[in-house]
Amino acid sequence: MSAPVGKSLQGLDLRKRYEINIIAVKELVPERFLMVPGADFVVKDSDILVILGKTADIEKIKELK
């Protein structure tokens, strides 16, 4: 899987592919904290994704860059 920047959460399909959920996003530009982002949210390179999942599943996505 390629880097998530510029893709929507729906397009990334993280729940199905990695069994993880994005529960929040800390946006730096503009500066805000978004709880439970919608499927149409597009990931920016400055975003910090807050995820929920099993440790083994989270380890799998650490390799995505």
Q: Using one digit for the tens of pLDDT, what is the confidence trace for 6-29?
A: 999 999 999 999 999 999 999 998
Count the domains in the chain. Answer: 1
Query: Domain of 47?
Result: 9-55
Let me know if residue 3 belongs to a domain: no
**pLDDT at residue 5 greater than cutoff 90:** no
CB-based contacts of 38: which residues, under 8 Å, 6+ apart?
A: 9
**Structure confidence at residue 17 (pLDDT):** 92
2 belongs to a structural domain: no
**Band (41; pLDDT cuts 50, 70, 90):** very high
Distance separating alpha carbons of residues 15 and 24, to the nearest angstrom:
14
Please choose, from the candidates 47, 54, 21, 44, the residue with its C-alpha nearest in 3D space to the C-alpha of residue 32.
47
Question: With 60 as the cut, is the pLDDT of residue 65 above it?
Answer: no
Q: What is the pLDDT of residue 56?
A: 93
Average pLDDT, rounded, for the chain = 90
Q: Are 24 and 47 in contact (CB under 8 A)?
A: no
Alpha helices, DSSP H, located in the chain? 9-12, 14-18, 55-61
